[in-house]
Amino acid sequence: MSIFFKIIKNFIFKCYNSFGDVMKDYYTIEKLDHQGRGIIHVNGKVIFVENALPNEIVEIQIVKSKKNFAEAKVLSYEKKSEYRCEALCPYYEKCGGCHMMHVSYEKQLMFKLEKVKDILNKFMKNFTFAIQPVIEAEHLGYRNKATFQIHDQIGYFKKESNTVVPIQECLLVDVKINKILKLLSQLDVSMCQQIIVRASKFLKETMVIFITDDTIEKEKIIETIGKYVDSIYVKGKQLKCIYGKSYIEEKLGDFIFEISPDSFFQVNSAQAKNLYDLVKKYANLKKTDSVLDLYCGTGTIGLYVSPYVHKVLGIEVNEQAIMDAKRNQKKNCIENVAFICGNVSQMLSTIKEYYDVIIVDPPRSGLDKETIRFLKSCGAKRIIYVSCDPVTLARDLNILSEVYGVLELTPVDMFPNTYHVECVCVLNRR
C-alpha cells in the first residue's frame, strides 16, 4: 500500500495539480503564444511559461492551475535560446509595462510576424495574400506618453496587480519624460492618483497632468518643474491649466498637431509617421478621390492624406477628439476636410455620397455589423484597414473578402518590447 501511495504522490506532484508545484523534470519550450509566453504540453495540458523562449530547456514552478491549462515561472535554465538577451531595465521582472525585453529585437520582429500569420491562418478561410516584413522601430525611448501611478512613491503597476513598483527611469519613454520624472521625486505627490507626462518627439515640448481629488500645492509644482516644461494641468473635479500653454505640439511630416491633455495621439510619434505613410501608399490616392475616414480620432490620418485627394470626411464618436481634429485642420490651413461627431455605425446611414477610398481604424473590438454591411454595399474601390488586434482583423477580413480582395498586409511595430502589433491591410473591390 505504501508503494501505491508513493506512486500516486509522485504522479500528482509531476502533474502539477496544485498551486506552487515544482516540475522536477526539465521541459523543452515548444513555441511562444500570442502574449510572448513559452508553451509546453504535459499529459494533455498546456502550460504557459513566462520568460521562456522556443527550444529552451527549463525547470518550472506552477503559479496558477486551471482545468485545461496552467501558468508557470522558470526556476532554472538547462539550455538558453540564442535569442535571449539580458533585460536592460532593472524593474523588468516586476513591472507590467513590458513583456519581451528578454528577447532580442530581431526575434521580437520574427515573433510578431509569425503571430500575425498564425492568427490569419487560424481565423481566415482563405488566407492567400502577401504578408510583408514588420516595419521596425527604435525599440527604446520611443513612447511620448507615460502614466505614472502613485502610492507613496511614483511608479508603474506590478504585473497583474494594483501594487505600485517605484521607478526612477523608464527605458521605453522619451528622455524628456525621464528628466521630468526625476523632478517629480522632489515633490510631495501623495495626494495624486496618477501623473501623466506627455512629450513631443520632434518639437521637444512637454506637458504634465496631475490627477488628484485633493488640494495640491500648485505654487510648489510650478516652482519645481515650471521652467522645464511647456504646460502643467491639474485634474480634479475640473481640468485646469495652471502653467504655460493649453496644449503641446507635434510634427508629423509636413503637419503640426496639437496635443491637449485628453487628446488621443499615437504614443510612438516616429512610427506613427511610418504608419501614415503606409496608409497613403496602400490607398494609391488620386487628386479626384473622395476619402471616408471612419473612427478618425483626432483626424491625423485624414489630414495627413488630404493634400493628395479631392476631399476627406472623418467620423468619430468622441466629441473631444473631433474638437482636436477641427483645431488641427485650422492650424494646418486645410480646407478639403470635414469632421462630424457621432457613432460610426449610426452615422453611416446618413451618407449619400460615393467615396472612392475608405480608411477604417476601429477600436480593438473591430468593426460592428452595421459598418461591415455598409462597407460591403458602398461600392468603394479600396479599403485601408488599420488594426490594433489581428484577431478581430481576421474576423472582419473574412466577411469583407466576400466583396473585396485582400491584396496585402504589413505589420507595424508600434510598441517594441511588448507583444502588441499593429497591422495595415489593403482591400480592393472585386
Which sequence positions are flagged as catalytic?
388
Q: Are 381 and 428 in contact (CB under 8 A)?
A: yes
Cα gap 46→118, rounded to integer Å: 18
Q: How far is CA 187 from CA 36, 57, 152, 183, 320, in A?
A: 37, 47, 11, 8, 31
Among candidates 386, 335, 331, which has minimal Cα distance to 357? 386
Task: Burial-class residue 251 by CB neighbours within 10 Å (0-12, 13-18, 19+).
Answer: middle
Q: Are 48 and 39 in contact (CB under 8 A)?
A: yes
DSSP state of 9: H
Which 3-state string (H, E, C) describes 281-320?
HHHCCCCCCEEEEECCCCCHHHHHHHHHCCEEEEEECCHH
Which grid coordinates are listed for 235?
Answer: 485634474
37: left (phi over 0), alpha (psi -120 to 50) or beta: beta
Residue burial 235-247, b: 16+ Cβ < 10 Å; e: rest: beeeeebebbeeb
Cα gap 124→203, rounded to integer Å: 42
Which grid coordinates are listed for 182?
Answer: 526625476
Cα gap 156→166, rounded to integer Å: 7
Helices (H) and strands (E) in the chain — how many of each? Answer: 10, 23
Residue linked to cell 503559479: 63
Cα gap 197→208, rounded to integer Å: 5
Among candidates 247, 214, 210, 253, which has minimal Cα distance to 231? 247
204: left (phi over 0), alpha (psi -120 to 50) or beta: left
C-alpha atoms less than 13 angstroms from C-alpha of 211 in its C-beta half-sphere: 13
